[in-house]
Structure 1
Amino acid sequence: MSEIRETLFRYLTMLQLIPRSPGRISTPVLLEKLNERGFQIDTRSLQRDLRDKLALHFPLACDDRSKPYRWYFDRDFHCNLPALDVPSALTLVLTEEYLKGLLPPVVIGQLAPQFRDARQLLDRLEGNGLSQWAKRVRAIPNGKALIPAPFKAEIWQAVSQALLENRALDVTYLSRSVEQQRQYTLHPQGLVSRHSVTYLLATVKDYEDIRQFALHRIENAVLSSTPWRGAVEFDLDDYIFNGAFGYLQGSDNITLVANVAPQLAWLLMETPLSDQQTLTPLKASEWQRLEAIVPNDQQTLWWLKGLGTNVEVLEPLAWKNDILATAREILSRLVQNT
């Protein structure tokens, strides 16, 4: 009886690990993931499970154009294990609303079946009014959100597989700096979505430095026969923390001192700018004095510039002078054009 139960649990785990099309998972990777979950099975037994067991009862297909073979389910295959409940459905509806303003359609499409299941579940609950929730839930980004840069489904598939399986990629890349196509062999190390652009972090050829490649500028990508090389001591969190995406101007944090308007003070009380922040009422004024320890980066400076007349920056002096110079330049252009 225990052997039958073990086999059943293995089948259920395999159903969870095999992606829908256009996703793929190779036999070696699937075997590795099963072993990580405590299922001791050899390659031949795994292939027999896939071919002679699961493929007979589920829309399971094999991409055998190259080795190792890769497995996937039909794109429209639904497997609700476990069954979706109402709170989870509502969470998925909100998640879809939020993500579709941040990620390209190709990426959102990977979760389309789950989002569709959530909406269908809510639509069936007409008796208690919950079907209206899908129409009443929206996510609004903070600030102006640009339309996510699109890229091809096959690019996402190749990049995802390379990251999952530690494979190198041969790509054709449109370089923004020289405005021409370049051929690279990339060794993927990570993936970051920032604002409306998704970046592949990778080393090139035999170099050790990490470079950023915008996915929408990759015009072609195929798995490479070149062995993948991991970057020495690369840590994605450290890479981001050290300013790779924040245009760091200095390695040390700085103290921001500014007078802020009442509505901005309320916002910062509820959603602080940093863990080390104070707001002090100014005498004979509705404004407050803000002091906060913040990164010395362009992103924070751009945020301050976007606040316009709701903030008066006092320190650091370099930021105060930068904002003042920007204001003078804007005023000068307005005068010239009138």
Structure 2
Amino acid sequence: MSEIRDTLFRYLTLLQLIPRSPGRISTPVLLEKLHERGFQIDTRSLQRDLRDKLALHFPLTCDDTHKPYRWYFDRDFHRNLPALDVPSALTLVLAEEYLKGLLPPVVVGQLSPQFRDARQLLDDLETNGLSQWARRVRAIPNGMALIPAPLEERVWQAVTQTLLEQKALDVRYLSRSAEAEKIFTLHPQGLVSRHSVTYLLATVNDYADIRQFALHRLKSATISDAPWREAPDFELDDYIRRGAFGYRQSPEDVTLVADVAPQVAWLLTETPLAIEQNLAPLPDSDWKRLTAKVPDEQQTLWWLMGMGANVEVIEPVGWRQEILSTARAIVARTEGDPHGGYAPSYGSQTSPPPDRQSTT
């Protein structure tokens, strides 16, 4: 009885370890993962499990184009181990709605069987109120969201495999600056999804500095024969914290002082701009004086610009100058003088002196 039980658990574990197409897993890797989980089995027994047992009852395929052989299930094969419950199904439906606006379709598509199962489960619950939630709940991004750039499935598969297995990656990359395709060997160190673009963080060829590669500009990606090199002292959270994705102007925070309209003050009362924030009433006005410790980065500056005339920035002076210069450029173009306005380069501190009586 114990032997039968162990065999059953081994089959269940294999069902969980083998990926759906286009994923692949080799026989040696499967054997290693089984050993890690406490199953004592040799290569011949594993091959017999795969070929003579599982392949007879499940859509299991062997990719024997090169050794070691690699195994995968049909991409539409469903595995609910354990079975999906109602709260989990609802969570998956909401997650799908949210992720569709953030990740490339091919990435979201990797989870399409799970999303499909979740929708089906909720649809089948005709007498349960939860069945209506999928039709009545939506995830809306904060601000305008660009449509995620398309990404090839093979590229995504190669990127994730090399990142997780610590392998190098040979790519053809469309350089935005040069507007030409370049061939690199990348050494993946991390993956970051930001707004509608997913970036691979990697070192290039023999260089040690970390660079960012937008995945949708990878025209091809294959596992490299070159040995993978780890970036010394690289830590993903620290990399992000130092402003790698925030267009940071300096590592130090700055004190933002601005007068804000009542609707903006109400917004910032409920959802503060920063942990260190204060809103003080202005004399003889329904506006308030905002003081907040914020990162010295362009993202915060762009948010302030988006508030338009509802915010008047007082400090930092450089930010006030840039907002004022941008407003002048917009007015000049609107009045028919396309070259009469000053178009600032964000981050510059060379804008004309501000007019204190003007508002942003």
TM-score, normalized by the shorter chain, greater than 0.5: yes
After superposition, what is the alpha-carbon deviation per residue over 1:50-74, rounded to whole angstroms, capped at 9, x for unaligned?
3333223221222222333322211
Question: Which stretch of the first structure deviates more once superposed, 126-135 or 69-78?
Answer: 126-135
Larger Rg: 2
Distance 1:309 1:226, change over 3 A: same
Corresponding residue for residue 235 of structure 2: 235
**Amino acid aligned to 1:100:** K
Please show how residues 115-264 of structure 1 align to structure 2 within 5 Å. 115-264=115-264
Distance 1:281 1:120, change over 3 A: same
Decide whether the 8 Å contact of 1:24 with 1:161 is kept in 2. no
**Amino acid aligned to 1:262:** P
Corresponding residue for residue 288 of structure 1: 288
Find the aligned partners of 1:36 and 1:309 in 2 and give their Cα distance: 61
Q: Does 1:65 align with 2:49?
A: no
**Amino acid aligned to 1:305:** M
Question: Which stretch of the first structure deviates more once superposed, 65-74 or 30-39?
Answer: 30-39
Corresponding residue for residue 353 of structure 2: none
Question: Gaps (5+ residues) in structure 1?
Answer: none
Tell me the SS of whatever aligns to 1:75. Answer: coil
Corresponding residue for residue 324 of structure 2: 324
After superposition, what is the alpha-carbon deviation per residue over 1:86-134, rounded to whole angstroms, capped at 9, x for unaligned?
1111111111111001111100100100110011011111123433222
Tell me the SS of whatever aligns to 1:228. Answer: coil
Question: Which stretch of the first structure deviates more once superposed, 112-121 or 258-267?
Answer: 258-267
Corresponding residue for residue 341 of structure 2: none
Identity of aligned residues (%): 75
Corresponding residue for residue 114 of structure 1: 114
Find the aligned partners of 1:37 and 1:278 in 2 and give their Cα distance: 54
Deviation at 1:10, TM superposition (A): 3.4
Tell me the SS of whatever aligns to 1:126. Answer: coil
Distance 1:76 1:320, change over 3 A: same
Deviation at 1:168, TM superposition (A): 1.1
Deviation at 1:327, TM superposition (A): 0.9
**Amino acid aligned to 2:323:** I
Find the aligned partners of 1:299 and 1:306 in 2 and give their Cα distance: 11
Find the aligned partners of 2:42 and 2:279 in 1 and give their Cα distance: 62
Find the aligned partners of 1:7 and 1:282 in 2 and give their Cα distance: 75
Tell me the SS of whatever aligns to 2:68. Answer: coil
Question: Which stretch of the first structure deviates more once superposed, 124-133 or 215-224?
Answer: 124-133
Q: Structure 1-normalised TM-score? A: 0.93
Distance 1:99 1:169, change over 3 A: same
Tell me the SS of whatever aligns to 1:213. Answer: strand
Question: Gaps (5+ residues) in structure 2?
Answer: 339-360
Decide whether the 8 Å contact of 1:93 with 1:137 is kept in 2. no
Aligned residue-pair number: 338
Find the aligned partners of 1:280 and 1:35 in 2 and give their Cα distance: 63
Tell me the SS of whatever aligns to 1:254. Answer: strand
Corresponding residue for residue 20 of structure 1: 20
Deviation at 1:3, TM superposition (A): 4.7
Find the aligned partners of 1:38 and 1:292 in 2 and give their Cα distance: 54
